[in-house]
Structure formats: C-alpha cells, structure tokens
Amino acid sequence: MASPGNIGYMNSLYLNRLSPEARQSLIDRLHSMQSGNCFICERPIDLKLHANSFDIDHVEPLKLGGKDGEENFALAHSTCNRSKQATDLRVARVLARFEMIRERCAQDDRGPNLADILRAYGGAKYELMFGIVGHNIRLTLDAMGDPEIQSLPLYTDPLSKLQYFFSVLPIEYLHHDDRINPRNLGGSLAPLVEEFHLGRPQLHAALAWIDRSQGPGLVKVFDGQHKVSAQLLLGVRSLPVRVFIDPDPELLLTTNTRAGTTLRQVAFDRSVQRRLGRSLFTDRLERYRLEKGLPDDDESMSERDLVNFFRGESREVKRYAVDAVRAAITHNSLNKLTPYIEFGGRSTEKPLSYSTVEKTFFSFFIYTDVLDTPLNYRADEGLNPRQLEIDQVVRLMNFVAEIILVDQFDTELGTARLENKVQKNEDIPEPHLRAFRMCKEEVLYSWLIYIRQIVQGHFTYSGQPFDQNRSFQYKFPEQLWRQLHSYLVHLRDFPLWVNRDLSSTVFGGKQSSEFWRIIFESGKTPEGQQVLSGSINLMTMIEDADSV
C-alpha cells in the first residue's frame, strides 16, 4: 500500500520501479476503470482534491496469492483503505456496503438484520406457490417468470413429526422472521464474508418455515441469518433452505430461544433473550386463555397462575414473565437511555452495555419473582404493579440520560482508551469525560444503589407499608421524583468526574464496586487517597429539589 503523495511502495516492487510518469498513467487508467470511484466505499475520488489522500493497493493480498501487477491494483481513499476490515479489497468493499446499511438502520436507533440485507439486495418480494401431492411438494417460481413446476421430496422429522423439504430458492422468495429470530447482525458477519469469499462452503442450510393455510405463503428464515446475509452481500442470488411446513410457530420460537439460552448453541446476547422471553410469555398467556376458554383480552389470571398451569416448565415461565418486564423497559419508545446502550456486547462508541443495565437498573429495581395479583390488577386506577414498575424505571433512566448523557456524551469520541488520551493531555471535553466515568459499570453500580436507598427511605418515613423488594411497584409522588432529580444533579457536579489528575489512579483501571463504596462513604480510596471532600450525605443531596 502507498499514497501517491508519499512515495515508497513498501509492498510492491512493481510500483516502486515505475517512473513518476508511468505511475501517473497507471493512476489515470485505474481511475477510469473504476468510474472515478473508490474501490472500497464506491464514492468519488477526485485526483486533484484527493491528491495526497488516496492509495494504490493490491486487490488480492500478495500473501494470499495475489499478483504484484497492474491487473491486481485498485485506487481507494486512504481513510477507507487503512481502516478496512479485511485485507482483500473485494471483501473490504462488501463490508463497506454492509456498513452503509448499518448506518441507515442506526438512524432508527437499531441494528441491521436479515430483512435489511434482503431489502437492499432485492429480496423478500414474493410468496411461494406450492402444494403437497403424496410424498412430494410441488412448487413454482412463476412470479419470476419461471412457470415450470418443481417436484421435491417431502420428509417427516421422526421426533418432532414436522414435515419439511429442501430447496434452493431465489432471494426474492426469502423473508426474515424477526419474531423467532430478533438478533441483529453483529461482528461475526465479517469473518463469514471472508470465509465464503475464499470459497469455503456453508456447513448447513438456513432454516425457514411456511404456512399453507392461506394458499401461497411467505418462506420465513428463522435460523442462519448471518450465513444468508454474508452470501447476499457477496452477490449470491439463490440459497439452499430447509423449509418446515405448517409448524407451530411457538414451537420454533421455544426451540430457537432454548438454543440460545439453555443449550447455548446460538450466541444470543441477553437483550435478544429477553425479547424472546417476552414473546414466549405472550404465547403462554394465549395458550392459558385457550385452555381455560377465556376471551382473548382476559387478564384476570396472575403470573403465578401461569407458572402453576405450565408446571413442566414453571422455571422458564417465571423467567419469561420477568423478561417481558425487562424488554418492555429497554424497548420502550419513551426511553431516552436506550440510544446509549450497546445491545450486542460491549462497545467503543456507547457508554453502557446491556449487561451493565441488567446488573444495575434491573437488578436493583425490578421484582424478579412472579406476582399473585391479576395481570390487570388496579390497571383502571393507573396503579398496576408491573406497569408502574416499567413506567417508573423508564422515568428514572430518562433522568439519568437527561442529566448525564444527552448532549454531553459524544458517540463519535466514544470510550476507546479514553483515560489514556486524558493522560496524554488530549482535548477530551469535560461533559464527555464525566459521562464516561459515571457510566463505568462499577461506578454506576455504586451510585445507583443509593437511588434504592432514597426510595426506601421515603416510604419508610412516610409511614406507608411497603415491600422494599417491590419498591418501584408503588407509585412515587412528585416530591420523591424531585429528590431523585436533585440527587443526580448534585452527583453529576462532583469535581472528581472531571479531575484529570485521577486518570492514572482512581480511573486508571477497572475497580470494584467495593472500591467505590468506600470512596462514597469516606471520601477516600481504600489506599487513603483523598477523592471527595468527605463522605456523601444523601439528605443534603436530595435537598433543594424545587430549585434544581
């Protein structure tokens, strides 16, 4: 790789031997062959405006057998070439296209899935015309101008008794089932693209299902979306699928959920597990109503009733009930903290991981046992325990977002090696540094636990009987909300969050929550370093709520 403005083609004897005139002639030819665009991002390269900021690089790396000759060169923006996710420029271009899809999805505060890839590449257009005759399935791709009738063997799974067939279908007939598989496409996609680009085959067909009750049906892919997406990005237009016919969708949902939880066959992150759990709780509720002959909107049963009814999976149903609460909070359209949460693991762009949210907000404020009261208990009064819990946790998260993060944390600056940058005297804005430090998992855990103490103190001093394990299921008066707001504002204004001298000590590595408990209770680190003027006083921090 080399830049025309900085001659010295370290990896190419061919380029190093060219005269300046021959080199410019090569650049002109490549520029013309590429229609004036960067090989990777496919956006324009201006040979004058970008004179010192584009590279000539090997399309296929020399180490993988690429030739050191003109037929294996391409032009790319220097920024694209040096930040590419793959050494092969053809793969880098494919991943750049995926990145553009990811950026479009990010505008809606979500990650991309198979449906987005299908949409971008002209898939998911048609229903499949099919029927069963004896032990065969007959289908036609007439919507694509192919009226020939295909006859394929119909199989029956000996254990589940589900019928299925194998076929190679054009992507126009493939759709994504985001209910059974709500996962976003994550970091594992890039290695798959490289794997398939090298000609290594996928080891199993994607799984899909179809319902013939309505005649033509959608072929809905619910397993293998990463492999399908990788092949779509590489230009594959037809894909092998194993299609189940008329399965119980809830059976597939349960199977897919257990694959990512109990059996750990699929790398489901926790947020996906919670969304699946919510779907499964809804399924169990519908099945309970059906078995009891209750109306579709009946909510006279309790969570405990469902657990007792499904005795064979009582532990799972209990988890599904709590998963429904977690998912309702994180995917609430009013939740202002959601844009700052990375749902697929840890991130160098966002300050919070979903795992951190579970260990703090959910661990402290969600009641994790099932309720004995009806699902609609006191709903007409606005006092339903679960709904109060959801609404009040969301409101608290909004306080945290508004006071600490919104217009303060810069996702472009992110979190990567931030303390190292501080130690090198790089210009890190104080609001960003403060937000980053306050959202570190062990720090957040340590100051958020005092929220629970403030809430419990309020109900204790008010004389109102309450269960401290269910505190967010009691309606908070506005006075308490003002106290919580004041606490967060006072906490945000502590000088230690923007003290750059603490970068290599207090904030120099991952500390424990015990480390921070000692700081908040004494003002000093366990080693005796003075960090605060003294121990924090919660009574003082919740004062002056009206003036904040």
Per residue in 184-221, pLDDT (tens digit) is 887 678 888 988 988 888 777 899 999 987 667 899 99
Q: Tokens 């957040």 map to which residue?
A: 444
Determine the pLDDT at residue 8: 33
Angle value at C-alpha 327, between 321 and 329, nearest 5 degrees: 110
Determine the pLDDT at residue 117: 95
Q: How many CB atoms lie within 10 A of CB 434?
A: 22
Whole-number percent of the chain with pLDDT over 90: 67
Indicate if the pLDDT at residue 176 is higher than 90: yes
Determine the pLDDT at residue 85: 63
Q: How many CB atoms lie within 10 A of CB 505?
A: 12
Q: Tokens 């690089």 map to which residue?
A: 57
Cβ neighbors of 459 (< 8 A, separation 6 or more) are 466, 468, 471, 474
- According to DSSP, the β-strands at 136-141 and 129-133 are antiparallel
| Sheet strands (E) in 186-291 | 206-210, 219-223, 238-245
Determine the pLDDT at residue 170: 96
With helix as H, strand as E and coil as C, how does 254-269 read? Answer: HHHHHHHCCCCCCCCC
Contact, 33 vs 71, CB < 8 A? no
Determine the pLDDT at residue 214: 64
Q: Tokens 């919510």 map to which residue?
A: 278
Backbone angles phi and psi of 374, in degrees to 5: -55, 155
Average pLDDT, the chain: 89
| Nearest by Cα to 340 from 365, 358, 357, 326 | 357
Token pair in block for residue 141: 């791709």
Cβ neighbors of 102 (< 8 A, separation 6 or more) are 111, 112
d(CA 5, CA 453): 62
| Nearest by Cα to 29 from 88, 69, 85 | 69
Determine the pLDDT at residue 9: 44
Determine the pLDDT at residue 263: 46
Indicate if the pLDDT at residue 135 is higher than 70: yes
Token pair in block for residue 298: 């009946």
3-state secondary structure of 498: helix
d(CA 507, CA 95): 35
Q: Residue type for 262, please?
A: T
Determine the pLDDT at residue 262: 53
- According to DSSP, the β-strands at 163-170 and 155-156 are antiparallel
Residue 53: pLDDT band with limits 50, 70, 90: confident
Determine the pLDDT at residue 486: 96
Residue 6: pLDDT band with limits 50, 70, 90: very low
Backbone angles phi and psi of 511, in degrees to 5: -95, 180
Q: How many CB atoms lie within 10 A of CB 444?
A: 23
Token pair in block for residue 100: 């553009």
Residue 400: pLDDT band with limits 50, 70, 90: very high
d(CA 459, CA 427): 45
| Nearest by Cα to 340 from 276, 404, 421, 389 | 404
Angle value at C-alpha 49, between 47 and 50, nearest 5 degrees: 65
- According to DSSP, the β-strands at 238-245 and 219-223 are unpaired
State pLDDT tens for residues 337-371: 999 998 876 778 899 999 999 999 999 999 999 99
Q: Residue type for 232, please?
A: L
State pLDDT tens for residues 241-300: 999 999 988 888 887 777 665 544 444 566 777 777 888 899 899 999 999 999 999 999
Indicate if the pLDDT at residue 10 is higher than 70: no
Contact, 80 vs 37, CB < 8 A? no
Contact, 50 vs 40, CB < 8 A? no
State pLDDT tens for residues 433-479: 999 999 999 999 999 999 999 999 999 988 888 899 999 999 999 99
- Look up the pTM and report it: 0.64
Using the CB atoms, write b or e for 288-302: b if 16+ within 10 Å: bbeeeeeeeeeeebb
Residue 7: pLDDT band with limits 50, 70, 90: very low
The gap between the terminal CA atoms of the chain, to the nearest Å, is 57
State pLDDT tens for residues 303-346: 999 999 998 889 889 999 999 999 999 988 899 999 999 887 67
Task: Report the C-alpha dihedral over residues 17, 19, 24, 30, rounded to 10 degrees.
Answer: -30
Alpha helices in 366-471 (DSSP H): 385-400, 418-423, 430-438, 441-462
Indicate if the pLDDT at residue 384 is higher than 80: yes
Contact, 203 vs 88, CB < 8 A? no
Q: How many CB atoms lie within 10 A of CB 141?
A: 20
Token pair in block for residue 497: 């969050």
Q: What would the mean pLDDT of 416-427 be, rounded to a whole number? A: 93
Strand-pairing partners, residue 265, are none
Residue 355 buriedness (CB in 10 A; 0-12 / 13-18 / 19+): middle
Angle value at C-alpha 118, between 114 and 121, nearest 5 degrees: 140
Cβ neighbors of 12 (< 8 A, separation 6 or more) are 2, 56, 58, 68
